[in-house]
Structure 1
Amino acid sequence: MSYDKTIAQAARTELERRRSQAEKTARQNLEGFLSNCPRAKEISRELAKNSAGAARAVLSGGNVHEELEQRKKLGLALREEYEELLKAHGLTRHDIEPRYSCSECRDTGFVDGRMCGCHRALRRSIAYRQLSAGLPLEQCTFQSFLLDYYEGDPAAKKRMKEILDTCRKYAENLRPRSSNLLFWGGTGLGKTHLSLAIANAAIEKGFGVVYGSAQKFALAIEKERFSREDSVGTANSLKECDLLILDDLGVEFSSPYSDAAIYDVVNERLMAERPTIISTNLDPSGLEKRYGERFASRIVGGYALMRFKGRDVRVQKLNR
């Protein structure tokens, strides 16, 4: 996946922060220990002298084996004493050595000249956060989805309770290869609310979630098509995230390129078995008119269709 310079720089900055913090903490622990335990400082010097003596023994000849064995025993004894002193001060060897977030690359981001998996994951995470920035996640939970607004229509209330229960169960059992959902129905019936409630649960589980309107993503993809700068890789982010939630499909500005790009995203995620949730005001026939038979067929065949019913909740809230 390709990213623009700001994402790459943000990832490098975060890796540097992690590495610096790990090394600073270890250094402070070691300095405090040596300051409070003079004997530990003496042992450090004795270990250095012992290592230098071993090197001289190899160079000087003589009974090298016997000399090295003696120095090995001395080194072991000194290290054992050092460990006991650490223990007496409530520390372990790990407390005076950097605890890097990634033991493979030691928070440098690279292993043997190749980008470490932690570095790639960090870049993805930053890209996902940017794509989903500004979402009212705290306001949209399953608990705050009130069925009171459907009281005037028993059939609609029954249907919306079924959808609420299904979405809650979907969120509880969310897996990397969960099924795809299509929310369709009129404006203000709770499609966005339940999409965000699922996004909340997915983020809690550690999933990489990308949420946004089809209009936002279509504009970003179109812009990157003509950009001469390094691509932010919106299309790739949409294809590769753990969970994609595509809101308000059908209201975006239509162009052959953006329509094809959205189809490509939806199709590739279906092929890769990555879960996608789409919300739209269009019914299946409306999707066919808007995007063509091929797109509608992929949706009808690969998504669980959920029709939202009732009266516009936003209007009801304003009237109250």
Structure 2
Amino acid sequence: MSYDSNVNQAAKAELERRRKLAEETARRNLEGFLQGCPRAGEIRRELAANAAGAARAVLSGGDVHKALEQRKERGMALRREYEELLGECGLTRRDIEPQYTCPRCKDTGFADGKLCGCYKALRRNLAYRNMSAELPLDQCTFDGFSLEYYRNDPAAYGRMQSILRSCREYAENFRANSPNLLFWGGTGLGKTHLSLAIANSALDKGFGVVYGSAQRFAVALERERFGRDNSIEGTSVNLKECDLLILDDLGTEFSSAYSNAAIYDVVNARLMSGRPTVISTNLGLSGLEERYGERFTSRIAGNYALLGFMGKDVRVQKIQS
């Protein structure tokens, strides 16, 4: 999979930051240890001399086995003393050795001549973040979702109270194979707010989340398919492979044979791989079938938990109040 230059540069910069932090922390700890415990410095020099002596013993001939055993015992005794001194200073060997985020590649991004998995994951998460940039996540929380706008309609109030509870539980228990959700109902009933609240929670748990409107993704997929914009290269794979995809306002995008097929391809691929998707739409099942066809609607009806939103447009109520 390809990424634009900004993602690659950001990933490299983050790896370099991690590597420098690990090495600088270890260096400072070691310098402090050696300054506070002169004997530790002597041991390090004696260990180096002992290793050099072992090499000379091999080259000089004689009873090499005996000489090497003596050197080995000496080295072990010195290392034990060194560990004891570390302990007396409240340190362990981990404190004076770089603790890389990824021990396999030591935060270089490459291991055994190949891209390390940590580098791939970092680029992927940065791409997800870019795709969901500028979302009002801090404004859309579960605590900020008010049921007061539904209280005048007992049926709507009960339904929305149940939906809010279900969404909270979904977010609290979110995992890589969580079920799929379909939010459907009229405009201004809180579908976007609750889907963003779920995104917030999943991001806090460290999952890779991609959030966007169906229109935005349809345009990006078309541009990627026909090579019109290299900056969004990898959109299709990101949508299919992120931990959670939230597809907002399905049915409001410009309809074309390609966009409908592309959206179906993403939804179906995620179903096949068991990755969760949250879709919000103003259309009911009959509207989805009219717009996208029976095959698409059948996949949704059979594999999504359907949450029907009720009430009066909250945005209109806010203006009128």
Q: State the TM-score, normalizing by the size of structure 2.
A: 0.95
Alignment check: 8 A CA contact 2:167 2:198 kept: yes
Aligned to 1:248: 249
Q: Please show how residues 199-214 of structure 1 align to structure 2 within 5 Å.
A: 199-214=199-214
Offset at residue 184 of structure 1 (A): 0.9
Q: How many corresponding residue pairs?
A: 320
Alignment check: 8 A CA contact 1:182 1:278 kept: yes
Alignment check: 8 A CA contact 1:180 1:277 kept: yes
Distance 2:173 2:97 in 1: 40
Unaligned 5+ runs, structure 1: none
Q: Please show how residues 158-173 of structure 1 align to structure 2 within 5 Å.
A: 158-173=158-173
Distance 2:42 2:179 in 1: 64
Distance 1:278 1:231 in 2: 22
Decide whether aligned partners of structure 1 residues 83 and 106 sit closer, same or farther in structure 2, where only a CA change above 3 A counts: same
Name the stretch that deviates more: 77-86 or 97-106.
Answer: 77-86
Offset at residue 266 of structure 1 (A): 0.6
Q: Does 2:34 match 1:34?
A: yes
Offset at residue 223 of structure 1 (A): 1.8
Offset at residue 236 of structure 1 (A): 0.7
Distance 1:16 1:205 in 2: 24
Aligned to 1:106: 106
Alignment check: 8 A CA contact 2:214 2:252 kept: yes
Distance 2:231 2:318 in 1: 45
Aligned to 2:299: 298
Q: Please show how residues 1-320 of structure 1 align to structure 2 within 5 Å.
A: 1-227=1-227, 229=230, 232-320=233-321
Unaligned 5+ runs, structure 2: none
Offset at residue 256 of structure 1 (A): 2.1
Name the stretch that deviates more: 218-227 or 126-135.
Answer: 218-227
Alignment check: 8 A CA contact 1:181 1:306 kept: yes
Name the stretch that deviates more: 307-316 or 249-258.
Answer: 249-258
Q: Identity of paired residues, percent?
A: 70
Offset at residue 114 of structure 1 (A): 2.3
In the alignment, residue 308 of structure 2 is paired with which amino acid? R
Alignment check: 8 A CA contact 2:22 2:99 kept: yes
Offset at residue 289 of structure 1 (A): 2.0
CA deviation digits over 1:119-171, x for unaligned, max 9? 22111111111111112222212222111101221111111112112212222
Offset at residue 76 of structure 1 (A): 1.4
Alignment check: 8 A CA contact 1:2 1:230 kept: no
Alignment check: 8 A CA contact 2:220 2:232 kept: no
SS at 1:266 equivalent: helix
Offset at residue 113 of structure 1 (A): 1.8
CA deviation digits over 1:161-186, x for unaligned, max 9? 12112212222222222221111111
SS at 2:216 equivalent: helix
Alignment check: 8 A CA contact 2:214 2:251 kept: yes
Distance 2:156 2:87 in 1: 66
Distance 2:178 2:25 in 1: 41
What is the RMSD computed on CA atoms of the aligned residues?
Answer: 1.6
Distance 2:2 2:292 in 1: 28
CA deviation digits over 1:35-58, x for unaligned, max 9? 222221111111111111110110
